[in-house]
Amino acid sequence: MKNDAVNFWRVWVNGQGESCQSLHSLTGHQQSVFAQGAAPIWSAVHYEGNAKLITLILMPGEIGDWHENPMPQWIIPLRGRWSVETMDGVIVEMGPGDISFGGDQGTKNKKGHRSWAVGQAPAELLLIQVPEPPPWNPHA
């Protein structure tokens, strides 16, 4: 397989307590039988544990106040487009098929990030809240 990575944007906190965003990858896909009776498919397990599924609808023209993600969570746009601005000034726009991980708990003054729907249509988001973020090295 040429590209075994699924890319995602990660919101995280730097050493100065500011939220930042950077592009990361989920890797380690191997060809295996994912479902009994199905043909082999490329797959990788990235998390096993308790999770909560939540859907959000962001309405056009409403910009959320600065806030931290309430807990570590994967955010996947289902319909529409969505932007996230972190304290470092980076703005990332995402749409269906993009993935973000919200791990900005513990920023200075709990400022975190702000987000909004892009364009004239609502942004429908799927959130998967997890007890803790996946391990990573922000300088790798």
Phi and psi at residue 109, in whole multiples of 5°? 55, 20
In a domain, 43, yes or no: no
pLDDT per residue as tens digits for the range 52-61: 999 999 999 9
pLDDT beyond 50 at 1 = no
In a domain, 30, yes or no: no
Answering whether pTM is above 0.75, one says: yes
34: confidence class by pLDDT, cuts 50, 70, 90: confident
In a domain, 135, yes or no: no
In a domain, 70, yes or no: yes
Reduce the DSSP state of residue 86 to 3 states and report it.
strand
In a domain, 36, yes or no: no
Cβ neighbours of residue 102 under 8 Å, at least 6 residues apart? 11, 69, 72, 73, 74, 75, 113
Number of domains the chain is built from? 1
Q: Is 43 in contact with 34 (CB distance < 8 Å)?
A: yes
In a domain, 107, yes or no: yes
Structural domain including 118 reads 8-23+49-129
78: confidence class by pLDDT, cuts 50, 70, 90: very high
Domain at 94, CATH number: 2.60.120.10
- Extract the tokens encoding 134: 């996946």
